[in-house]
Structure 1
């Protein structure tokens, strides 16, 4: 149902006549898609949450500026995009460098499933289906300057016309097209080679089997077995801890140096984030008499081999809806 229809039902002709509870009802239905949009812009789940709240506050304060020339959704996207640009100007004036994003955070698939289901007027459904939510894409986007980043997301992810993007950002069409060319060139530089066309599909049996083998080898702390599943040019990072390891030898050596083989008993819970398989590892803590959160490994798999591992710390477990502990028998 469109916002205009909702306004008619409320018996008002414009947003300036809507009271705060009714206005909240209008904007809340767009919360998840706006959150995903801000997440793409910022790479941080927490910053995206704050920016959506700022978006709703700005929308309420400026509700009289909605003149109905665009859709209500587009009006909210414009406010959200500008809120993201303001945050980036204040907190991250320089884009990421060196292939890693220290502020990167995972996005639970269970929340992505809340996005609108289908329809040409539901841009986020198409965007997620095109896998522009995967971590490799997020990392590449964070290497772009803020304004070209916004243009790329609005044009290539949400498929907005250049004229609309120019109007929303206060630029000319020529400026938007130029920024889009720069952004696409930057993405080609930072995206993995096999992801240039950014096409993907449902997880296949081969992928599920590889995830199972990786899980078993990890719990067994079988370094050689894990190494055999890695592609030669595999990459591994652990935001917000600095350090990007590229190549099988570098990744395995880092695991050995960090004492992975000497860890205690492990258990694993399978989950998914950013439309990718993820493994939540728990470490046995004798004093607690339970397995407690350790890390979350998010895998990118290409051609039957693991091409990237992004490891997140235990502070991400609650957001992903994971158990806070596992009992000795594996029960929660």
Structure 2
């Protein structure tokens, strides 16, 4: 394998585009996920990946092989992401006003940053094959969860990059320092602050009204039979407009959030008021299509058009569960639904 890689590098340096493609294609997917973790946006992760590959092609002659090709690519991708985060286009976007004028007051501003987007599970198929290094603190399934991605977005950019490189990918502190052109001391300082922020957010996100004492929820096996039953009950409640049945599925301190609106509803009472005022307004009916995002169940929600025999895309709901109940629902607008292969409309009848 090493001989093959060495040969590919030599041919790519000589200008062989096919050799370069073969050289990097095994890394492209995990690099996209890496960029998504740092940027919180699939579209921006795709842009960062393309810029990373262009930079790698142009600078392959300077790759001295003191590190592995994978590490070199991660360094380029990380710094590309940091440059994007510094750009003015990364300023928080102004959220459009919510259409329902009768919505209850939110519980607070919430933590979800306005540029957060979900990541389709279909793109994660090969991620589980990437074993993190021995230094990693987070399991692969946890490190793609919506709660973890949200927590990352709360960090300053360099703390974010240091934590992902060290605690998700498992690079040693010296390697992280080299990749970020920083000292080991500054990396360790950044990691200390970043870990406190992320672990506190995850502990808060995973609380379900019980007095749990763990720093972080344990990684769980996704897509279980119990989870399927819970999603089926939620689907049924939405399609029957049964508010009581929906509320039964929620933990007492459930969170509802809707990026890019930096608002959060927390608790059963707030959730009940929200669903009654918005989702289950008189005259509304829905159809639901199941999918998955960030290793979690997700639902494409379609609203009946009163003027046509179709249901139109309304929102993508990403569901966080624990112990057979729903702990959080994060709603995204219809712009993300095509990423999940979801149509813009559904027929009135099957």
Measure the CA separation in 2 of the matches of 1:237 and 1:162.
35
1:31 alignment partner in structure 2 = 28
TM-score by length of 1: 0.89
With a CA cutoff of 8 Å and minimum separation of 6, indicate the structure with the bigger relative contact order: 2
Equivalent residue of 2:219, what SS? coil
Which 5+ residue runs of structure 1 have no aligned equivalent?
A: none
2:124 alignment partner in structure 1 = 112
Measure the CA separation in 1 of the matches of 2:28 and 2:252.
41
1:298 alignment partner in structure 2 = 318
Contact persistence 1:221–1:261 (CA under 8 A): no
Measure the CA separation in 1 of the matches of 2:133 and 2:265.
41
Give the RMSD, CA atoms, in angstroms.
2.6
Is the alpha carbon distance of 1:130 and 1:111 closer, same or farther for their aligned partners in structure 2, counting shifts above 3 Å? closer
Measure the CA separation in 1 of the matches of 2:154 and 2:12.
37
Partner residue of 2:309 out of 289, 298, 306: 289
Partner residue of 1:245 out of 249, 265, 274: 265
Question: Is residue 2:170 matched to residue 1:159?
Answer: yes
Measure the CA separation in 1 of the matches of 2:271 and 2:263.
11
Kindly report structure 1 stretches of 4+ aligned residues shifted beyond 6 Å: 120-124
Measure the CA separation in 1 of the matches of 2:327 and 2:36.
23
Contact persistence 2:203–2:217 (CA under 8 A): no
Measure the CA separation in 1 of the matches of 2:127 and 2:69.
17
1:69 alignment partner in structure 2 = 66
Question: What per-residue deviation string (whole Å, max 9, x for no partner) do you get for residues 225-264 of structure 1?
Answer: 2112111111111112231111121122122222523253
Which 5+ residue runs of structure 2 have no aligned equivalent?
A: 93-108, 207-214
Is the alpha carbon distance of 1:282 and 1:128 closer, same or farther for their aligned partners in structure 2, counting shifts above 3 Å? farther
TM-score by length of 2: 0.85
Contact persistence 2:250–2:327 (CA under 8 A): yes
Question: What per-residue deviation string (whole Å, max 9, x for no partner) do you get for residues 11-65 of structure 1?
Answer: x647532433432332233221111000000101111111111111111221122
Question: Is residue 2:242 matched to residue 1:222?
Answer: yes
Measure the CA separation in 2 of the matches of 1:207 and 1:98.
26
Measure the CA separation in 1 of the matches of 2:319 and 2:221.
15
Is the alpha carbon distance of 1:192 and 1:309 closer, same or farther for their aligned partners in structure 2, counting shifts above 3 Å? farther
Contact persistence 1:152–1:184 (CA under 8 A): yes
> How far is 1:198 from its partner?
4.1
Equivalent residue of 2:148, what SS? helix
2:145 alignment partner in structure 1 = 134
Equivalent residue of 2:112, what SS? coil
Equivalent residue of 1:326, what SS? strand
Equivalent residue of 1:262, what SS? coil
Is the alpha carbon distance of 1:304 and 1:79 closer, same or farther for their aligned partners in structure 2, counting shifts above 3 Å? same
**Aligned residue-pair number:** 324
Measure the CA separation in 2 of the matches of 1:202 and 1:123.
24
Measure the CA separation in 1 of the matches of 2:134 and 2:46.
21
Partner residue of 1:90 out of 87, 107, 127: 87
Measure the CA separation in 1 of the matches of 2:34 and 2:273.
37
